Chain A
Amino acid sequence: MVDAQRDVPVKSALVEALVVMKIVKHCSASFPTTATGSIVGMDNNGVLEVTNSFPFPTVEVANTDSHSHSNNQQNDASSLAAAAPRSKANITYQNEMIKHLKEVNVDANNVGWYTSATMGNFINLSFIENQYHYQKDNDKTVALVHDVSRSSQGALSLRAFKLSNDFMAAYKEGKFTTEILQKSKLTFRDIVVEVPLVVHNSHLLTSFLHQIPAPPDNAEIPLPASLDDIRRDPAKIPAHPSFDALDLSIDPFLEKTCDLLLESIESHYTDLNNHQYYQRQLTREQFKITQWQTKRKAENAARVAAKQTPLPEDEWQRLFKLPQEPSRLEGMLNARQVEQYSKQVDGFTANITAKMFAVRGNLLPE
């Protein structure tokens, strides 16, 4: 039974509405700082059911611990929060929390973590490290990413990701040199896998939703005669419909994405420069080595002619140190991030074009 379950990889994630609400609340409350938390649930034959969540406590920026990985692109609080899932204090907190949850009969298996994001800018080293931290112990964990900025435009943006198995293996090795990447054929597309996500409502919740009043038939509501009237039969105010989805302002979104894209390109250039520097260094060093080798060879030839024992020819390994190739991981992540942005824009424009036509059709005078 257990083995059978192990074998089935996570194919989709089933997220309870409760979890969604909790995540949305936490993330938007702490916006624009990154918010992170843990999710619990269980794996059911390839479907990962996420049934509950709890946020990680936010650490005061003042008592910054040394363990927090500082991510240059974000401010202190954000980087702290982003690093929270793998910080020691939070692991203990998480275990404690799960213990308590067990006592109140909630699913007590950790199935991953969630994080907030702005315009999909979540693919960075911190994200990878966090997910790796979870996934290395338990393959059936996902990272839920709630994009606060995009959700504010109407449609909820909650996505589930996990690291691909290939990437897990490569990351375990910790080597991201060109050679290894070429050999393993690992590209930026293979870093994270998106897991389809379904929001699941309990029956109770569904029935509750059905009880939400529809708009009244007649516009006029009879005034209550007395206070008792109100108490007995409170006015059934209908849920306010959301018109966010009809928002036509495209500039802010595209601007923001452009900004982020430019930022990515900048970091790409930084990465590129690092690598070029490395390459220059390498060629210089190699040139020195060849020089040394030829010199040594000539020397040896002379020594052989003089009937002396030749000197060892592999001393260059001791004398010269080739520079360490910088990790290509950063570049890969960057590429993945750019892809993410592009897809986002793609999706956004598909959506907005439809709206544009609708607007044009209705608003233009004949």
Chain B
Amino acid sequence: MSRFFRGGDDSSTESSSDEEELYSGSEEEEEEKKDQDVDDSSSDDDEPEAAADSGSDSDGDAKKKGVNRFLADADSDSSSGDDSDNETQAKVKSAKDKRFDELEATVTAIQNGQKINDWGSISNELDKLNRQVIKQIDGGKAPKLYIKCIADLEDFMNETLAKQKVTPKKMNATNARGLNVVKQRIKKNNKDFQAQIDAYRKDSDDFMESDEEEVPAPKVAKVRFQDLTAEQGQDDDEGFATVGKGGRTLLFTPESIFKHLRTIMESRGKKNTDRLEQIKIMEKLYEVAVTPYQKIRVLMTLVSARFDLGSGAATSMPLEHWKAAEKELATLLRVLETEKDHIVIENAEEWDDDEKPPTLEDGAKYIRIPGSVVSYIERLDDELTRSLQSIDPHTSEYIERLTDEGSLYNIIFQGLLYYEMLRKDASLEVPQESLNRIIQRRLDHVYFKPSQVVKILEENCWKEVPSNVDSEITPRDPSHDAGHLLNVLCNYLFENSDGIIRARAMLCQIYFLALHDQYYQARDMMLTSHLQENIANFDITTQILYNRTLVQVGLCAFRKGLVYDAQNTLQEICGSGRQKELLAQGVMIQRFNQVSPEQERLEKQRQLPFHMHINLELLECVYLTCSMLLEIPLLAQTGSSPDVKKRVISKTYRRMLEYHERQIFTGPPENTRDHVMQASKALAAGEWKKATTFVHSIKIWELMPNTEDIKTMLAKQIQEEGLRTYLFTYAPFYDTLSIASLSTMFELDTRKVSAVVSKMISHEELAAALDQVTETVIFRKGVELSRLQSLALTLSDKASALIETNERTLEHRTQGSANAFNRKDGRGGNRGGGQRGGRGGARTGGNPQRQAGGTQFTGGALGAAVRG
């Protein structure tokens, strides 16, 4: 016996004598589980039976095969005999009636309980009653008996409670507990049946006798609808009644769509709701949905329900559901595109009437449906990110998943088009923010990609939309220039947004520029944005984006050969030793401070999917190489007078170098770090060629575009810095040095050598003069500070710093009113603006101390005294 029964009502005729067949039971079945309400005519074969359905019963029945046919006949016979739902059959008791009897018994038990004031048993019985009645609710209407019972019970309970307050005598424990339970149950329960209860209260007799007049209404609607659309073929397929979870038959007809949607919406967020089941229901519902309104509503609910599947904290949405949601969103957008008079808008009012769909009112241009397309899109995007986060990036699965990004991008694009369309109508008051959000999403998918990839994405998404559609913000551009697209998107956001979105747009654009080797533009934008001053006020994702942008700018500077700028920019991120965390590309193992699971979870959520990562090893390599190029000459410079100043450019690099030097045996370099360290050692010893080989043998340069250019650039830098290092190290041992010999030594152009030497002289790094006639460097002797002098200078520096600290403390204490102690006439200015400018000019500034004490001071204090 199949689980599908031919419905009692297979007639699509107007004869409404048997309205109730919809709900009639199939008497043959004893088990309640199999007792189902059945839909219209069901047939085992899939052929469309338009004629049969529009015709008489017999036509349809004739086609039935085997047992089913007879069963169906029996069914229709028995059901046609039924007059009303509540009537019991004389011979065979339907399961429904059985349940009704049970219900009656329970109600009597409750009434008995009331009589003897036994709340314990009332509470038990009530639970039972509620369980039973669930199966008998017809379209939101509970059996009258039940309504009567709970209404009476509520009255009785209130009475008891009132009594209790007055009498000092306490109830016994079981009773009191029972009463409490009942109180809560009733409160919760009765809300659902409030309308019926009210009706009952108003006129109890009348209520009990009245028939369910409301029921026929949908039936009529259905019939009318079927006539109108003549979609019997489809209905035919739907003739099977699907068995719901609780043995309840679910009915999928266009007119019941809203009812279903409502129940699903109501159960949303509640425990023990089977979401998968609901999704299945809605998938069916969509198939029967006919009007655009229905389609839109079903799609929206369906997409939300799918998102609910992935709402657990750690798990991402199942793949097939994501794909389905993506398709449905696409369909939704397509429907909205074609049905211009239906719009989904955030500020629309909820349509409460389940029975009839809203119609176009006079004068109104649109049917407004509450919902937010942008939220759906954002959610879809987030879910993709989440699933990418959870997939191992080295598997093919990841790549497969990544291909979904293209379709997601299409959806974002279509969403953007949709919002643009909405925006055109000022009367709709579509908030600017939605548009900003969707553009931001689009930007998020574009900014980190090379322009070729963006181009492909763009081409694909334009292919998707019909050729007559054009975007206002991002007009159809045959060249699909990524830079232009980004520029347009960002400019739109600059103009129309503020706060975080604006900052993010800025960062995205800088990132993109840096990625495409436009260093100066990127740097200028970075500086003019003033983001480094207030980035701490933004949320963490923006801060991560800022860090990523910073790193990208640094890498860009490196590719341009601007070692100093690159090091400076990367310092903040790489010098911290927490690159992984700062770029959200991995979670650090926390050793010392305990991290709560909550924090850890948040951190995991923030992680970027792998394809967005900036290669950390490459980053480290660039950073270390830059540090090497700056630090080695500096070390040579300060080497002769170790305690003059402890200017350290990169602490991380210094630490590594120290560690490297402490090793007794150093093997051949294995990783990037080893390579750089050994190169540093060679460079410090003046063996620039060796250093170049070491640096060039680092494998990871291959990941950079234009590897060869980078290598030549590095070789050139190493030559120059090697020369500087050599001069710093060996200057004390020379009186003169010919430029030609330097030039051969470092295989540099003589012009280049003299340029480097002149630069060093002018920066006061080298006490020498350049004799252009003889082409020699002439070193001056005895210009170094004596130890005492340098110490005295350091001391005076420290002392003034201390004074300043004191003043600041005083100022803090007196809340800035202590102008009496105003001593920083000349010093204040150089401190305030020194942060950024100071860094850039550190090299050109040289060391001011040298100037202070460098006035041909020989022989210490005594010498001066003697000379004086």
Residues of chain A whose beta carbon lies under 8 Å from any beta carbon of chain B: 248, 250-251, 254-255, 258-259, 261-262, 265, 268, 272, 356, 359-360, 363-364
Contacts and interface: CB of A to CB of B under 8 A. Distances in A.
A360 B865 contact: yes
Interface string B845-868: 000000000000000111001100
Contact of A262 (B787, B791, B861): B791
Contact of B862 (A254, A258, A268, A356): A356
27 contacts: A248-B862, A250-B860, A250-B861, A250-B862, A251-B786, A251-B787, A251-B860, A251-B861, A254-B788, A254-B792, A255-B787, A255-B791, A258-B788, A258-B795, A259-B791, A262-B794, A262-B798, A265-B795, A265-B798, A265-B802, A268-B802, A272-B805, A356-B861, A356-B862, A356-B865, A359-B862, A363-B866
Contacts of B787: 251, 255
A171 B11 CA distance: 105
Contacts of A265: 795, 798, 802
A355 to B, nearest CB: 10
B306 to A, nearest CB: 40
Interface string B770-791: 0000000000000000111001
Interface string B339-365: 000000000000000000000000000
Given A248-B862, A363-B866, 14 more contacts: A250-B861, A250-B862, A251-B786, A251-B787, A251-B788, A254-B791, A254-B792, A258-B788, A258-B791, A259-B791, A262-B791, A262-B794, A272-B805, A364-B866
What's the interface size class on B, roughly?
10 to 19
A268 B803 CA distance: 13
B297 to A, nearest CB: 42
Leading 5 A-B pairs by shortest Cβ distance: A258-B791, A251-B788, A265-B798, A255-B788, A254-B788
Please indicate which of the listed interface residues A250, A254, A268 has the most CB atoms of chain B within 10 Å of its own CB: A254
Nearest to B799: A265
A173 B802 CA distance: 31
Please indicate which of the listed interface residues A258, A268, A364 has the most CB atoms of chain B within 10 Å of its own CB: A258
- Chain A interface, >50% SS class: helix
Contact of B795 (A251, A261, A272): A261
A265 B803 CA distance: 12
Contacts of B805: 272
Interface string B799-825: 000100100000000000000000000
B795 A262 contact: yes
Nearest to A352: B861
Contacts of B802: 265, 268
Interface of B: 786-788, 791-792, 794-795, 798, 802, 805, 860-862, 865-866
Nearest to B798: A265
Nearest to B802: A265
Contacts of B861: 250-251, 356
A247 to B, nearest CB: 12
Nearest to B793: A258
Contacts of A360: 865-866
A245 to B, nearest CB: 17
Contacts of A259: 791
Please indicate which of the listed interface residues B786, B788, B860 has the most CB atoms of chain A within 10 Å of its own CB: B788
Nearest to B786: A251
A251 B789 CA distance: 9
Contacts of A272: 805
A360 B795 CA distance: 28
Nearest to A353: B865
Contacts of A364: 866
A262 B799 CA distance: 9
Contacts of A251: 786-788, 860-861
A172 B447 CA distance: 67
A169 to B, nearest CB: 28
Contacts of A255: 787-788, 791
A128 to B, nearest CB: 24
Contacts of B798: 262, 265
Contacts of B866: 360, 363-364
A272 B804 CA distance: 14
A251 B860 CA distance: 8
A349 B729 CA distance: 36
A251 B788 CA distance: 6
Contacts of A356: 861-862, 865
Nearest to A255: B788
B51 to A, nearest CB: 72
Contacts of A254: 788, 791-792
B740 to A, nearest CB: 41
B742 to A, nearest CB: 36
Contacts of B792: 254, 258
Contacts of B786: 251
A265 B866 CA distance: 33
A349 to B, nearest CB: 10
A360 to B, nearest CB: 6
A320 to B, nearest CB: 18
Contacts of B794: 258, 262
Contacts of A359: 862, 865
A248 B861 CA distance: 11
A260 B742 CA distance: 42
Contacts of B865: 356, 359-360
Contacts of B860: 250-251
Nearest to A248: B862
B2 to A, nearest CB: 61
A261 B865 CA distance: 26
A284 B74 CA distance: 81
A121 B865 CA distance: 30
Nearest to B787: A255
A352 B701 CA distance: 63
A359 B868 CA distance: 13
Nearest to A363: B866
Contacts of A248: 862
A90 to B, nearest CB: 38
Contacts of A363: 866
Nearest to A364: B866
A262 to B, nearest CB: 6
A104 B866 CA distance: 59
A251 B865 CA distance: 14
Please indicate which of the listed interface residues A251, A360, A364 has the most CB atoms of chain B within 10 Å of its own CB: A251
A363 B786 CA distance: 24
A264 B862 CA distance: 28
B649 to A, nearest CB: 21
B165 to A, nearest CB: 16
A135 to B, nearest CB: 32
A356 B795 CA distance: 24
A323 to B, nearest CB: 16
Contacts of B788: 251, 254-255, 258
A365 to B, nearest CB: 11
A265 B796 CA distance: 11
A248 B798 CA distance: 28
A16 B862 CA distance: 39
Nearest to A268: B802
A273 B788 CA distance: 28
A3 to B, nearest CB: 48
Nearest to B794: A262
Nearest to B861: A250
A344 to B, nearest CB: 14
A187 B287 CA distance: 88
A244 B429 CA distance: 96
Contacts of B862: 248, 250, 356, 359
Nearest to A250: B861
B592 to A, nearest CB: 16
A155 to B, nearest CB: 20
A265 B862 CA distance: 28
Contacts of A268: 802
A363 B862 CA distance: 12
Contacts of B791: 254-255, 258-259, 262
A151 B191 CA distance: 99
